Amino acid sequence: MTALGEPAGLRELSPRAQAELDVLEEVARALELRPLAPGDIVLRPHPLLVLVRRQGFVVLLAPAKVWDHARELFAPWSEALASTLARLVLLGRPQDADLERALNVGVCALVSPEPRIEELVVALHQAFELMELKARSESRGKWLNRYRYELGELIEIARALTTEREIDRLLGLILEKARFVTGADAGSLYIVEGNDPSPARRTLRFKLSQNDSLSFDSREFTMPISARSIAGYVALEQKTLRLDDVYAMPTGSPFGFDRSFDEKVGYRTQSMLVTPLVSSKGEVIGVLQLLNKKREPKLKLLSREDFGSNVVPFDERSEELVKTVAAQAGIALENALLYDEIRKIFEGFVRASVEAIEARDPTTSGHSRRVADLTLNLARAVERSDSGPYRAVAWTREDLRELEYASLLHDFGKIGVREHVLVKAKKLYPHDVELIRQRFDFVVRTLEADVLGRKLRAAVRGAGESELAALDRELLERRGELEEAWQVVEHANEPTVLAAGDFQRIEELGRQAYTRMNGEVSTLLSAREVQSLSVMRGSLTTEEFDEIRSHVAHTYRFLSQIPWGKTFSRVATIAGSHHERLNGTGYPNRLRAEEIPLQSKLMSISDIFDALTASDRPYKRAVPVDRALHILSLEVKDGHIDGELVRIFGEARVWEPVMSG
């Protein structure tokens, strides 16, 4: 008993004070002898107070006049009274008639000034039962709030997991959310690799780790799926492990804990929760490993004392939550892996298509990839622009991937163009040149035979040397004329602009006749050969140029037959419009500026630039960058391409990463 002295407010009650103290003494003794419940503790914190403690609850017994005149005695328990962790039982009836106020501040029962033990037992029982009911109600309320909070978090997690398609980001999200709902300080995530039906023949790839208390570099590595490691055991057995302290493994555990990481980085792994990520088919596709559940999730574990005081074992609720997250994560990861597999199939198809195109036209090897890189660089530069008509342009990851596919496949239609036209480097095909050469050689041999026959006949009839010499000069002159004609053909065959006289000479050769072996009369150059050699610029005739231009229509038709899905639905349109011009003179559909997709406008600039600057074309020299930019500006003036995009192309120097690589 602690004697705190008699309050000044009780001095007027001194005639009865001793009697009241005696009553309280008897009450305390009776309660000690006959406790209401095992473990109840009876104390006398003040001569006018009896305190009964049961676990975390307190009942104070005091004379009613303490309530009237010395209420400050209850001050040490004011917070407990306010939070229903303490209640008051008054002996006698207080003079304060406001009993409602008394009930609000903790009074729960009034007993006789000199109560019998039975009366006290009932009052105490009601007081403790009231506090316990209140505590259970608050506990249920807190649990319900916690449940609602956790349910809300799980819904948000599910929404986040189902909307993320990029595998690396999804893995980071899975680990982050699992740590959040369990209060884990750190964690790591493994992915199962391999297609063998037996899990033991597959491997676990360590993909990433997270740690709130420590920063360190981690690298991916693989390890066999084996029961010797904790993650391997979980993957094999497909069950969740909850370990209170990995430094003190349960007896008989097949797995162990490698302390090398802790020793290397100065960490202390203690509690651990490990669960498998399972696909819809029941196959383990990953393992989620959480470390060190914290009492206070916001605190960092920086010292040995922090690990000792703030790290606790993962409880059943944590296991339930992480299993729920893992179930969602397993399906989300499976979908992401399937999506990634489909993406790789698309990319494999695109690569194979590009290789097929370039195999048919080796002279443009690398063109498709360079155009794609230039176009993507230009698209990002446009997105960075904060002024002009394209300042509001923004691309998603899917937009850029769609643009990349379209750019890589922009010449896909060349597979529908005859190969000899596609790779035609000069005005005549090599076999045509060979036929003309043979034709000229035949004419020379015919001329030689004719002159030789004439010389023989002249010699037989006794012709003089001057006549024979004249025949030799004739042969030499005719040979020279044919050789000069052949040189004209060779010069005209080059894909350059011809002089007016060369066109005239070609036309003359098209009229110059000779007699074939069968007696038929033919010309040195056929009409088709004259037409080809008379091309003003380049190497293609009008018909061949139209055939080459038709590759865009082929591109659209072929790509339209591929089920790209909603995400990449515009690949065919973008690729099929890269030769359209703003003024409507392009092909194949003569679209106007407003009808041409922005992506196609970007690709047009990249396509022209690479065609000009490429160094792998045997039929032309590479144009310097400055000259190529000047030609682009001329294309702008002619109304072919977008001037604002050309400006961004030049200012951003989008070609530098491509040409330097």
CA distance 326 to 276: 7
**What digits encode the pLDDT tens for the residues 383-400?**
999 889 999 999 998 999
CA distance 48 to 62: 6
Q: What is the 3-state secondary structure (H, E, C) of 58-79?
A: EEEEEEHHHHHHCHHHHHHHHH
Architecture of the structural domain at 164-339: 2-Layer Sandwich (3.30)
CB 127 within 8 A of CB 89: yes
Per-residue b/e over 314-341, b at no fewer than 16 CB within 10 Å? beeebbebbebbbebbbbbbbbbbeeee
Q: Please give the pLDDT value at position 2.
A: 34
**What digits encode the pLDDT tens for the residues 170-217?**
888 888 888 888 899 999 999 998 877 776 778 999 999 999 998 888
The yes-or-no verdict on residue 325 having pLDDT over 60 is: yes
Distance of CA 306 to the CA centre of its chain: 36
**Cα–Cα–Cα angle for 495, 497, 500, rounded to 5 degrees:** 130
- Phi, then psi, of 286 in degrees rounded to 5: -170, 170
Residues 6+ apart with CB under 8 A from 534: 492, 498, 503, 506, 507
The yes-or-no verdict on residue 14 having pLDDT over 60 is: no
- Phi, then psi, of 118 in degrees rounded to 5: -65, -40
Question: How many CB atoms neighbour CB 24 within 10 A?
Answer: 19
Q: Please give the pLDDT value at position 252.
A: 84
Q: Please give the pLDDT value at position 31.
A: 86
**Reported confidence tier of residue 619, pLDDT bands at 50, 70, 90:** low
Q: Please give the pLDDT value at position 8.
A: 43
Overall average pLDDT of the 373-392 stretch: 94
**Reported confidence tier of residue 499, pLDDT bands at 50, 70, 90:** low
Distance of CA 322 to the CA centre of its chain: 24
For residue 66, which amino acid is it? V
Residues 6+ apart with CB under 8 A from 446: 514, 515
Q: Which two tokens stand for residue 546?
A: 């139209």
CA distance 437 to 444: 11
CA distance 371 to 406: 10
Mean of all residue pLDDT scores within the chain: 85
**Domain range summary for the chain, segments of one domain joined by +:** 8-136, 164-339, 361-421+548-660, 430-538
Kindly state the percentage of the chain with pLDDT values over 90.
33
Q: Whose structure tokens read 């200012």? A: 651
CB 600 within 8 A of CB 578: yes
CA distance 249 to 219: 27
CA distance 163 to 169: 11
Q: Please give the pLDDT value at position 151.
A: 67
Q: Which two tokens stand for residue 199?
A: 């899990």
Selected residue with higher pLDDT from 218 and 75 = 75
**Cα–Cα–Cα angle for 485, 490, 496, rounded to 5 degrees:** 125
**Cα–Cα–Cα angle for 445, 450, 455, rounded to 5 degrees:** 125
Q: Please give the pLDDT value at position 649.
A: 96
Q: How far apart are the first and last CA of the chain?
A: 89
Kindly state the percentage of the chain with pLDDT values over 70.
91
**What digits encode the pLDDT tens for the residues 419-471?**
777 677 788 888 889 998 999 999 889 888 888 888 888 888 887 888 888 88
**Longest CA–CA separation in the chain, Å:** 183
Look up the pTM and report it: 0.61
Q: Please give the pLDDT value at position 537.
A: 76
CATH T-level assignment (fold) for domain 8-136: Trna Endonuclease; Chain: A, domain 1 (3.40.1350)
CA distances in angstroms from 490 to 424, 535, 621, listed in the order given: 15, 14, 19
**Reported confidence tier of residue 661, pLDDT bands at 50, 70, 90:** low
Strand ranges, E, within 229-303: 241-243, 272-278, 284-294
Selected residue with higher pLDDT from 2 and 448 = 448
Q: Please give the pLDDT value at position 3.
A: 34
CA distance 338 to 361: 35
DSSP states of 531-548 as a string? HHHT-SSSS--HHHHHHH
Handedness of CA 176, 178, 180, 183 (dihedral sign): negative
**Reported confidence tier of residue 10, pLDDT bands at 50, 70, 90:** very low
CB 69 within 8 A of CB 88: no
CA distance 446 to 428: 25
**What digits encode the pLDDT tens for the residues 138-160?**
767 666 666 676 667 767 777 77
Given the candidates 3.40.640.10, 1.10.3210.10, 3.30.460.80, 2.60.40.420, the CATH classification of the domain at 361-421+548-660 is 1.10.3210.10
**What digits encode the pLDDT tens for the residues 515-566?**
888 888 888 888 888 888 888 777 777 787 777 777 888 889 989 998 888 8
| DSSP-assigned letter for residue 351 | H
From the CA atom positions of the chain, what is the Rg in Å? 48
**Reported confidence tier of residue 5, pLDDT bands at 50, 70, 90:** very low
Overall average pLDDT of the 323-348 stretch: 84
For residue 203, which amino acid is it? T
